[in-house]
Amino acid sequence: MLLTFFSGFGQTYFISLSNPQIREALGLSHGGIGLAYGVATLTSAFILMEFGKIVDRLPTRTAALIVVAGLVAACIILASVQAVWMLVIAFLALRLFGQGMMGHVAMVATGKWYEANRGRAVSLVVLGHALSEAILPILAVSAMALVGWRMSWVLAAAALLLIALPALALLLASERTPTVSASASTGTPSGPVKRSWRRSDVLREPVFCALLVGVLSPPFMMTALFFQQLHLVEIKDWTAAAFAIGFTLFAATAVPVGLATGALIDRFSARALLPVFLLPMALALLLAALLEAVWAIYVFMVLLGGTAGAASTISGALWPEVFGVAHLGEIRAVAMSCMVAASAASPLITGLLIDAGVPFTAQLLWFAAAALLASGLMGLIQPRLADIALDRTLPPAQPFRKSRP
């Protein structure tokens, strides 16, 4: 939970609070800072695809401390940025170690440590995301008002050094390695051993690409909204403080929804929830585009919190449920890299479209329609997902061909 909480320093909703000051300091437009952010985030996605394997090869404690140290360095670099190239490096490190690796280490460890109650375990771990979303934006706005944006990033680095690093070193001192399966512990027959897929097998499975459409929709669309939050506030005549309060409602919704999703996963499966978890976000994006009243912030942030809470729990449980745990780090690293790439593309695309005169509200309408289409696709792939999850021995190299007699 600490890992997911402190990943907030590398998340868009936190970084974007410094966007106006960064643009002013470096003379950047909306498209310019979006380009820097997009290039850095996309680069971090490629690095993460290989760097994410360390969770399979190193103890969780060692991997966690490496990642926290990297995030400390990222905060310090951003606090001292004086040129665009420094900004790209700072964004790269924040996205790689914060958004990418902090959550990756937490989710891979949890996916490997738990099986029968994996959904509930993941739902507790991802509470850190919700707490971060509720607390960090308000703290950041207050800190920037008191000491400025640069010193705020120094304070973030200090929090990581003084709180996160020693706490994680203590709490992860013992590696949690399961010694019995869930079936053995409950006395029920274990049945045939299911094969854990390798990354090469997963990449040859067409349904994996379809899964990514659903799993990547929330980070792509919410990153766009949160990155452009101050632009949206400006065109809607809202206030940054009002939007910051909306994050509290966002988190207050994400927490119970995430916990409920964990229980539902343990009862039905993560794959069964895929067709419905995007629907609240689709409605939220529609409302954000069309409504002008300040109270609209709180309505669509609650809806976004519903999808975010479900998405965090589903993404933590889905990959081990479908593809096994032996190579979970390398498989999830691919999914995380794609997620980071999606979050890189949306600020760049929306920033360039804003500069080109395309209203951000129109873009939100397009996102709402895309979310509905993705939800429908998740329903269509349910039979194939059930085949893979229930019998991982199906040949991944020929996923849609039935063997001949």
pLDDT per position as a tens digit, 140-178? 989 999 999 999 999 999 999 999 999 999 999 887 765
Residue 123: which of 303, 362, 314 has the closest Cα? Answer: 314
> Please, which residues have CB within 8 angstroms of residue 243's CB and are 6 or more apart in sequence?
229, 230, 232, 233, 297
Confidence band, pLDDT 50/70/90 cuts, at residue 404: very low
The pLDDT, as a whole number, for residue 183 is 41
Query: Which residue do the tokens 């274990």 mark?
Result: 190
Nearest CA to 302 out of 250, 354, 353 is that of: 250
The SS3 of residue 166 is helix
pLDDT for position 283: 96
Q: Has residue 87 got a pLDDT over 60?
A: yes
Greater confidence, 175 or 96?
A: 96
Does the pLDDT value for residue 188 go beyond 80? no
pLDDT in tens, 324-353: 777 788 888 888 888 877 877 888 889 889
Cα–Cα distances in angstroms (integers) from residue 125 to residues 15, 174, 283, in the given order: 22, 18, 27
Output the six-digit token pair for 274. Answer: 């895929």
pLDDT band at 397 (very low <50, low <70, confident <90, very high): very low
CB-CB contact of 350 with 288 (8 Å)? no
Give the helix, strand, coil percentages of the chain, each rounded to 5. 80, 0, 20
pLDDT reported for residue 284 = 96
Least confident of 195-209, 267-281, 372-386: 195-209
Note the residue count of the chain.
405
Residue of higher predicted confidence among 257 and 126: 257
Ranges of H-type helices in 198-294? 199-203, 206-227, 229-236, 240-268, 279-290
- What share of the chain has pLDDT > 90, as a percent? 40
Q: How far apart are CA 121 and CA 223, in angstroms?
A: 26
Q: Is the pLDDT of residue 181 over 50?
A: no
CB 263 within 8 Å of CB 389? no
What number is the average pLDDT over the span 286-300? 92
Q: What is the pLDDT of residue 300?
A: 94
Which pLDDT band holds residue 278 (cuts at 50, 70, 90)?
Answer: very high
pLDDT for position 325: 74
Q: Name which of 268-272, 349-353, 385-389 the model is least confident about.
A: 385-389
In the predicted model, is pLDDT for residue 314 greater than 60?
yes
What average pLDDT does range 300-305 have in this prediction?
Answer: 94
Where residue 282 falls among pLDDT bands split at 50, 70, 90?
Answer: very high
Tell me the pLDDT band of 192, cut-offs 50, 70 and 90. very low
Would you state the pLDDT for residue 287?
94
Burial of 260 per CB tally in 10 Å (0-12, 13-18, 19+):
middle
User: What is the arithmetic mean of pLDDT over 72-76?
Assistant: 96
Rounded CA separation 150/90 (Å):
13
Alpha helix locations (H) across 27-125? Answer: 30-51, 54-57, 60-79, 84-93, 103-113, 118-125
CB count in 10 Å sphere of residue 239 = 13
**Number of helices and strands in the chain (H, E):** 22, 0
Q: What is the mean pLDDT of the chain?
A: 85
184 pLDDT more than 80: no
Query: Torsion-angle region of residue 357: left (phi > 0), alpha (psi -120 to 50) or beta?
Result: left
